[in-house]
């Protein structure tokens, strides 16, 4: 089963019915076969952006708890790489959630991501190169 990183945007869109990308994310997830992987900083961003509704936050958290996303913990040794990436991409800019996903991509040798964030076309994954956004064909202009 393939593993794919997931950024905050698609998770937010999945649980916020008013989000522009809500239907696109649902369509993608209906056909996706694999394990979605993310980090705690991404989940923190999701909860923050869904703070308009405690029930919506809880729905997202319960989905993760049920296995919708596997959370990979960051360790203290990842901090140096996160700082390096944040400095390198400060003009984009790169936040903690973004840098945590790049670190996990490098750590787990992953190049596939699900995101609505165009910054991932700029970010580079160590020696692996660039990300492939599996959600791209589902995104409507």
Q: pLDDT tens digits, residue range 54-89?
A: 999 999 999 999 999 999 999 999 999 999 999 999
Query: Is 60 a member of any domain?
Result: yes
The domain in which residue 88 lies consists of 3-135
pLDDT number for residue 128: 78
CATH code assigned at 50:
3.40.50.1010
Q: First CA to last CA across the chain, in angstroms?
A: 30
Neighbours of 54 (CB within 10 A): 9
Cα angle: 29, vertex 32, 33; to 5 degrees: 135
Query: Is 21 a member of any domain?
Result: yes
- Structural domains in the chain (count): 1
Which of these, 6, 90, 81, lies nearest to 41 by C-alpha position?
6
Query: Is 57 a member of any domain?
Result: yes
Mean pLDDT over the full length of the chain? 95
- Residue 20: pLDDT band with limits 50, 70, 90: very high
Query: Is 140 a member of any domain?
Result: no
- Residue 141: pLDDT band with limits 50, 70, 90: low
Long-range contacts of 79-88 (CB under 8 A, 24+ apart): 81/106, 85/123
The residue-averaged pLDDT of 101-107 equals 96
pLDDT number for residue 68: 97
Query: Is 114 a member of any domain?
Result: yes
pLDDT number for residue 1: 77
pLDDT number for residue 126: 85
């Amino acid at each position: 089963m393939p593993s794919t990183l997931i950024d905050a945007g698609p998770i937010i869109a999945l649980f916020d019915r008013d989000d522009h990308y809500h239907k696109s994310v649902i369509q993608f997830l209906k056909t996706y076969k694999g394990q979605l992987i993310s980090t705690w900083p991404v989940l923190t961003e999701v909860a923050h952006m869904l703070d308009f509704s405690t029930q919506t936050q809880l729905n997202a958290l319960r989905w993760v708890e049920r296995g919708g996303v596997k959370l990979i913990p960051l360790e203290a040794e990842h901090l140096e790489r996160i700082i390096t990436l944040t400095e390198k991409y400060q003009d984009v800019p790169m936040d903690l959630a973004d840098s945590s996903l790049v670190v996990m991509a490098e750590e787990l040798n992953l190049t596939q991501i699900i995101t609505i964030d165009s910054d991932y076309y700029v970010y580079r994954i160590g020696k692996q190169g660039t990300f492939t956004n599996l959600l791209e064909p589902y995104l409507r202009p």
